[in-house]
């Protein structure tokens, strides 16, 4: 993975904010998608891993991860959360939907 991407992902959230990173991995041999969600503040992090079948497109997997991150944030009753998803297409759709 590119070091500049790692640097962005490792950056701690701003004061008073939480940061949620979302990623997905695709496993052809087992026909599964792994969703990884990390929510952290300046002191530490919480993480969650979920598995889904069957395989799907990368953008669908990332969107699925974002959906479950939003649900988890709600379950934990967290506020002031900044989300990062590594899919420009998914991010653009979410930004556009937020404008309507």
pLDDT digits (tens, 9 = 90+) for 40-76: 887 778 899 999 999 999 989 999 999 999 999 999 9
The confidence score (pLDDT) of residue 98 equals 64
The confidence score (pLDDT) of residue 1 equals 36
The confidence score (pLDDT) of residue 83 equals 87
Residues 35 and 52 sit within 8 Å (Cβ to Cβ): yes
Kindly tell me if the per-residue pLDDT of 4 is higher than 50: no
- Mean of all residue pLDDT scores within the chain: 83
| Phi, psi at 29, each rounded to 5° | -60, -35
Asked whether residue 36 is assigned to any structural domain, the reply reads yes
Q: What is the mean pLDDT of residues 16-24?
A: 91
Q: Which domain holds residue 69?
A: 14-85
Q: Assign residue 49 the CATH number of its domain.
A: 3.30.420.10
Terminal-to-terminal C-alpha distance of the chain: 35
């Amino acid at each position: 993975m590119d070091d500049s991407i790692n640097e962005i992902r490792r950056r701690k959230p701003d004061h008073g904010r939480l940061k949620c990173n979302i990623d997905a991995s695709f496993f052809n041999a087992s026909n599964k998608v792994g969703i990884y969600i990390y929510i952290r503040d300046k002191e530490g992090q919480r993480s969650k891993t979920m598995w889904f079948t069957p395989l799907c497109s990368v953008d669908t997997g990332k969107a699925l991860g974002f959906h479950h991150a939003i649900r988890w944030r709600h379950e934990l009753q967290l506020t002031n959360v900044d989300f990062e998803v590594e899919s420009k297409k998914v991010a653009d759709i979410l930004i556009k939907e937020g404008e309507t």
